[in-house]
Amino acid sequence: MKIAILGGGITGLTSAYYLAKDGHQVTILEKEKVLGGLASGFKSKNWNWYLERAYHHLFANDYDILNFAKEIDFDKIYFRSPETSSLFGNEIRLRSSSFDGQAMKQSNNFSVYPLDTPLDLLKFPLLGFIDKLRAGLVILFLKLSPFLSMYKKMTSEEFLKKNMGIKVWNTLWQQLFRGKFGKYAGIISSSFIWARIKKRTKGLGYVEGGFQIFISYLETTLKRLNVKTLKGYEVKNIEKRGEKFIIDGQTYDKIISTLPTPVMTKLTTNIFSPKYLSHFNKLKYLHAITLILETDKPILDKTYWLNICTEKIPFMILAQHTNFANKKNYNNNHLAYIGWYVDGDSKLLKMDKDELVKLVFPHLKKINPNCSIVSLFNSYMFKAPFAQPIFDQDFEKNMPTFKTPDKNFFIANLDMTYPYDRGTNYAVKLGKQVSEFI
């Protein structure tokens, strides 16, 4: 059969691999000039490794992508356990080099504490012992629990307040949800927090050379399987003639859409009924912005991942990539991600990278007073529409499924990772699963 795959992200590439292995004629249609979607990377002329446009890593239990990598003989994935911490709005405290790992007080109005392990939680000074005990027991329960129907019936805020307590919600969770979901923070299903805790591992994986190396390897593999890839190709119209689909004069027996649901919805108004598409119009999304700073000194000395748990800092995440991947791969410079999820009308979407740098730099000096002596060599900005679905309690009944009313049209996109957060592991899983319907 002739199959068109709309979108050349990891899901589209994976489904193309399995379909081509089964003998189908596969064509990938990708709007951008590079494949890989949100995992695609770029490289400065002085770097040896690629860098993702948006921060990426694997968890140790990301078995779908790890097994897929083995299947295609890709062996360039490694694991480390970088430090993750959270920033709060009091005096700043950073982990010292002392044996007991206690925090050291510095003069500022913020605090940074490691929260990697149960021991870190026990030492966390912003909660009392009973609160920490409750929080630890609930986290353990979520880690061990299978998915339960009760997770669909409560919001994350309700679940965490009820089981960990209001103090824990206000201290640990409230700002994290605001940073990730904005005005929707209070309506996110507790299935999300279950999946988030269930999935997380201390060990994190990365690709030698960056995820683009994995994407390029997979692209080469697809070429050997005679998969046709059209990059820089935006599909603007799909016609239906009998059982066939026509895209720019080319006929296909089946279509797999990996496009964001709002994009797919606009593209298929002449294929699907208004009633079917109306479900997708009820879904809500945020857009992602990442600002990447290339500096001569690190903004964070040891920490890789810093969660921002105070509304006084106007971004969600600060990730010092070169505390995870060695700086020698980037001309011995230091790379840091700053990230936001925003509404479509956010003023941040209208800013250029220089305006974003000007916005964040005073706040970086609050996190690290030595940031004023950091030299900024380069900055990079990327924006991704519809990057964060809003997992409210109606999401599951309105989200797309693999099968559609048209027996020859299939969907596999990031909405369908629910209740898990998006990632390359689930992109691989979706690609394999949708191929099994054909």
What are 349-404's pLDDT values in tens digits? Answer: 999 999 999 999 999 998 988 887 778 999 999 999 999 999 999 999 999 999 99
Whether residues 181 and 213 fall in one domain: no
Q: Mean pLDDT throughout 140-147?
A: 96
Whether residues 89 and 190 fall in one domain: yes
CA distances from 31 to 69, 194, 263, 409 (A): 25, 35, 12, 19
Give CA–CA dist 370/97, Å, rounded: 18
Give CA–CA dist 17/8, Å, rounded: 12
Q: What is the pLDDT of residues 30-68, one digit of tens each?
A: 999 999 998 999 999 899 999 999 999 999 999 999 999
Helix H or strand E segment including 51: strand 51-52
Helix H or strand E segment including 318: strand 317-320
Question: Which pLDDT does position 104 carry in this prediction?
Answer: 38
Whether residues 357 and 419 fall in one domain: no
Q: What is the pLDDT of residues 298-356, one digit of tens each?
A: 999 999 999 999 999 999 999 999 999 999 999 999 999 999 999 999 999 999 999 99
Domain count, the chain: 3
- Closest listed residue to residue 236, CA positions, set 203, 259, 205: 259
Range of the domain at 427: 2-78+208-282+397-435
Q: Of 166, 199, 232, which closes a domain?
A: 199
Whether residues 314 and 357 fall in one domain: yes
Q: Of 150, 173, 199, which closes a domain?
A: 199
Give CA–CA dist 111/104, Å, rounded: 10
Whether residues 410 and 264 fall in one domain: yes
Whether residues 176 and 102 fall in one domain: yes
Task: State the average pLDDT for the chain.
Answer: 93
Q: Of 165, 199, 233, which closes a domain?
A: 199
pTM of the predicted model, to two decimals?
Answer: 0.92
Q: What is the CATH number of the domain that holds 215?
A: 3.50.50.60
